[in-house]
Amino acid sequence: MSDDDYIYDEATGEWRPASEIAAEKAAKSVVLDAGGNVLTDGDSVVLIKDLKVKGAGQTLKQGTVIKTIRLTDTPDEIDCRHETIRGLVLRTEFVRKR
C-alpha cells in the first residue's frame, strides 16, 4: 500500500481509504425531487407550486415545464433556464420530474 491510498478524514479524525470516502460522497450527492425521484443532468421538471422569482419581477406558475436542468454542488438546488429568465436556481422541493 502507498500513502496515496489513504486520506485523513477530519470529521472522524482517522485515516481512511480513498475509495471509501469517494463512495460516501457519491451516495450523498443523489438529488431527489419533491416526489422522491432521482434527478440527473438534462432532465425536465415541472413546478408544483407558483414561485415568485426575485429580481425578475415575475411569477412562474404551477405546471410550468423547465427543460434541461443542471445539478449543482448543493443537493437541494438545481440550475436551469426558463424562456424569460436566465441563471435560474430552483429548490428541488418545488419541482417534480416530468
On whether both 25 and 38 belong to a single domain, the answer is no
Q: What is the predicted pLDDT for the residue at 79?
A: 95
On whether both 25 and 41 belong to a single domain, the answer is no
On whether both 19 and 39 belong to a single domain, the answer is no
Q: What pTM did the predictor assign?
A: 0.70
On whether both 26 and 60 belong to a single domain, the answer is no
On whether both 14 and 47 belong to a single domain, the answer is no
pLDDT digit string (tens) for the chain, length 98 residues: 455 688 888 888 899 988 888 877 766 678 899 999 999 999 999 999 999 988 888 899 999 999 999 998 888 999 998 888 888 999 999 999 99
Q: What is the predicted pLDDT for the residue at 4?
A: 67
On whether both 12 and 39 belong to a single domain, the answer is no
On whether both 49 and 75 belong to a single domain, the answer is yes
Domain count, the chain: 2
Give the domain range for residue 15: 1-30
On whether both 12 and 44 belong to a single domain, the answer is no
* Residues facing 17 on adjacent strands: 6
